[in-house]
Structure 1
Amino acid sequence: MSSTTLPRTSTTDSTDSAVSPTGFARVRLILVLGALIALGPLTIDMYLPALPAIADDLLTTSSAVQLTLTGTLLGLGIGQLVIGPLSDAMGRRMPLIAGTAVHVVSSALCLLAPNVAVLGLLRLLQGVGAAAAMVVAMAVVRDLFSGRAAATVLSRLMLVMGVAPILAPTLGAAILLNGSWRGVFAVLAALGVALMLVAVFLLKETLPPERRRTGALRPVLATYRSLMADREFVVLALVAALGMSALFSYVSGSSFVLQDHYGLDQQEFGLVFAVGAVAIIGASQLNVVLLNRLTPAGIVLRALTAAVVSGLVLVALTTTGAGGLLGFVVPLFFLLGAVGFVLPNAPALALSRHGEAAGTAAALLGAAQFGLGAAIAPLVGVLGNDGPAMAVTMTGGAAVAWLALAATLRRQRRVEPAPAL
């Protein structure tokens, strides 16, 4: 099977009338969009070291506290489904500013949460607010870039946003050393305010009025139906979502596995957690080089193969206990690195198929990623919150993604040869 082909795009690969920025303007845009996209990872990751402390303080179980993470992921998914079509109808800036304001308010209210149920609801609202930044940033990329150019820009964005998962747990641990877990949400509220100012003063509107779509419910639903009817878009969205679910399985269980099972303290956890972020960042930047020689589809299939192999090694080592902490971290590094190749390429390919509805397409793509992540991540807790539970969950997601993409390529080859992307 050739891994350098993928189903053809159903829309033009151009960026319509938009002019792609170059030089310093492109660098500034990447920095702004990277900062906006980073709001989601910061919201997810900064309180990870505090999960055991939250469980003790609110007199609840570790599984119940993990559900607050699930609430955030659900908010990110649901929020994108709503905000994406709004950004196609109203432009990119206003939904972004309003959503960020929701994030700020809900972050502030988390300071007062009296129990885990209220905290979970507020975390869901936090996710809805962060969704605005993430879906608008993706839509802006599609407004201005497509194909390989979009994959390259998304790889650069992953470099910028990759700082967030490296710094977030360490920052969260530092806050815990000088205060309680509630201080984490005060910092998130302040970051939300800063990013709102970035959106107001540094992000220009990229969707002119003549390219906007109606915000009426029926046309929006019709657009979602057309996206769901595009089999290749659905497969690419599934691949992106399963790649993200492997990452969220790690995020969901890492605090308990590394601190409770391997005995790391909060600061040591932040350092080890950063190793995974380094793997993803390194892969996303190597991806820019590989795009000069391979197609995005070829990179995704190869990366998923590597993810499955690394995952199987991780399952074997964590199940037997061989290698201790090193036996956990090393195969995990390669597994997360493989995911780092999937995350920029699969979304870029999916978005390139529907430039006429970039916001709605980005919303459906993001909802799939975070919705599936919200559904799969709790499996780590259900299966025991240990190394084997995390390894099985991550590897399973990568394996299903590989099967979906491979099946699509085989079907395409049976129907008609597909041009290389």
Structure 2
Amino acid sequence: MTQSLFKTALILGLLTAIGPFAIDMYVPALPAIGEKLNADVPHVQASLMVFLGAVALCQVFYGPVSDMIGRKPPLYFGLVLFIVASIGAAMAPTIGWLITARIVQGIGACAMMSLPRAIVRDFHTGPEAARLMTLLMLVLSVSPILAPLTGSLIIKAWSWRGVFVFMMLAAVLGIFLLAFALPETRPPEKRVESGISHALASYAMLLRDRRFMGLSFIGGFGISSFFGFIANSSFVYIDHYGLGPTSYALSFSVNAIAFIGMAQTTSYLAQRYGFSRIVATAAAGFCIVAMILFGLFVAGIDGLPVLMVFLFVAFGFLGIIIPSSAVMALDDHGEIAGSASALMGTVQMVTAAIVMAVVSAFFNGTALPMVGGIAACSLVVLALSLAIVRIPSANESVSQAASG
């Protein structure tokens, strides 16, 4: 592992983590926000959903713009917008004000959550891209571990408004890292053919690319299973199983440990066995574990240790599926990596939002709807992997033609 590779992964991971921190660190503050702003639960939850909606929809704009003018200017814009919105959220006198600030904050966070994948593709392809992507995931995976605990500590020491001040300071750090530690990876000579018409043509081409869309949805339903967990886990762990907030935060973070550990094996496994094989194998493992867990809960075996052990294994498989499918999807689209990364992010976030809403609608106070949602996502991931990963990429087709 070279120092420059780790440095790049650290910077990109910290930039990408700003958005997830704005989700995971914010969740413990929801009850306090409702109490202080005299808002009911649906309105408080709306302040979370509009953030996710803004992130999902705005990626389709950031991607082409980054192809046209470079990666760094849109990142600067997103960071500044995030800082302004964080200050506005910290000062919010009403829930309506807070919801508006969260929309703007989501628009800003979208740049940091979508463009680092394009930067990874600018640097590398194949196993090297997987290596950088998994290092990025290593930094990013710290968010589910630290964010809920950090949010809880800030709320206890100050108030829920302090959470947004912390977000603002993280974005300020992001600007310094972007300015002094990350080079521009989209030089002017690569922007010549970029433009609005080119962006529209790129999106049309990507939407017709069965391999790209299939791999995007494989990652999307993998991510959706975790978002279904996020939306319901606090109610399940705290209300159903009786954990306290700190115990819940620690239990929540266990899944990130599995994801981190398995994600670090991706580059080695890809070099030895190939991306197609490891994604197909991990998808099968994910589905088997999730379906067994669902069967146990349907049979009435409802226990926290059972849930935690099976989710630990299941989300470990996701540590292979998500970064590998992203590398595979972007591998053929280096010239439009910004647009490809943006469309992938939009597909995945919209899918996750829909799955989260459906799972939440069936919530009955137990873990069964959450487990059922994870199992359903695992079935889709397996079905897509069987249908898609056997399709050779353009690079593989060229290699086969040359060898033949």
* Per-residue deviation, residues 128-154 of structure 1 (Å, max 9, x unmatched): 211211222111111110012111211
Residues 264 and 52 of structure 1: is their aligned pair in 2 closer, same or farther, counting only changes over 3 Å? farther
Overall identity of the aligned pairs, in %: 36
Does residue 1:404 correspond to 2:384, yes or no?
yes
Q: Deviations over 1:368-408 (max 9, x none)?
A: 11121122112232111641121111221221121122123
**Residue 90 in structure 1 maps to residue 69 in structure 2:** yes
Among 213, 222, 228, the alignment partner of 2:207 is: 228
- Aligned partner of 2:198: which letter? P
Evaluate the alpha carbon distance shift between residue 57 and residue 312 of structure 1 in structure 2; reply closer, same or farther with a 3 A threshold.
farther
| Distance in 1 between residues matched to 2:357 and 2:287, nearest whole Å | 20
Decide which of 317, 330, 336 is 1:338's aligned counterpart. Answer: 317
TM-score by structure 2 length? Answer: 0.91
2:376 is the alignment partner of 1:382: no
* AA partner of residue 267 (structure 1): T
Structure in which a larger fraction of residues adopt helix: 2
Match of 2:189, SS state, is helix
Q: How far off is 1:46 after superposition?
A: 0.7
Instruction: Map 1:30-69; keep pairs closer than 5 Å.
Output: 30-69=9-48
After TM superposition, give the deviation of residue 119 of structure 1 in Å.
Answer: 3.0
Runs of 5+ consecutive residues of structure 1 not aligned to the other structure: 1-21
* Structure 1 moving runs of 4+ over 6 Å: 416-420
AA at the equivalent of 1:327? V
Query: Is 1:71–1:120's contact at 8 Å kept on the other side of the alignment?
Result: yes
Q: Which amino acid aligns with 2:275?
A: P
In the alignment, what sits opposite 1:312?
291
Look up the SS of the partner of 1:39 in the other structure.
Answer: helix
Q: 1:128 maps to which residue?
A: 107
Q: Does 1:274 align with 2:256?
A: no
Query: Is residue 257 of structure 1 aligned with residue 244 of structure 2?
Result: no
Look up the match of 1:23: 2
Checking the alignment, whether the CA contact within 8 Å between 1:70 and 1:378 is kept in structure 2 is no
- Residue 320 of structure 1 deviates from its aligned partner by 4.9
Q: Deviations over 1:28-63 (max 9, x none)?
A: 111111111111221121112223333444445545
Residues 361/73 of structure 1: CA separation in 2 closer, same or farther (3 Å cut): same
Q: Name the stretch that deviates more: 107-116 or 75-84.
A: 107-116
Per chain length, whose mean CA-contact separation is higher, i.e. which structure has more relative contact order (CA < 8 Å, sep 6+)?
1
Residue matched to 1:147: 126
RMSD value, Cα: 2.3
- Aligned partner letter, 2:367: G
Helix, strand or coil at the partner of 2:264: helix
Q: Secondary structure at the match of 1:38?
A: helix
Aligned length: 396
Aligned residue among 82, 85, 91 for 1:112 = 91
Q: Partners of 1:256 and 1:57 in 2: how far apart? A: 21
Q: Does 1:78 align with 2:77?
A: no
Structure 2: how far apart are the matches of 1:353 and 1:303?
A: 22
Q: Can you list the C-alpha shifts for 1:296-342, whole angstroms capped at 9, x where unaligned? A: 12111111111112212332344455252112211111111111111
**Structure 2, unpaired ranges of 5+:** none
Residue number in structure 1 paired with 2:136? 157
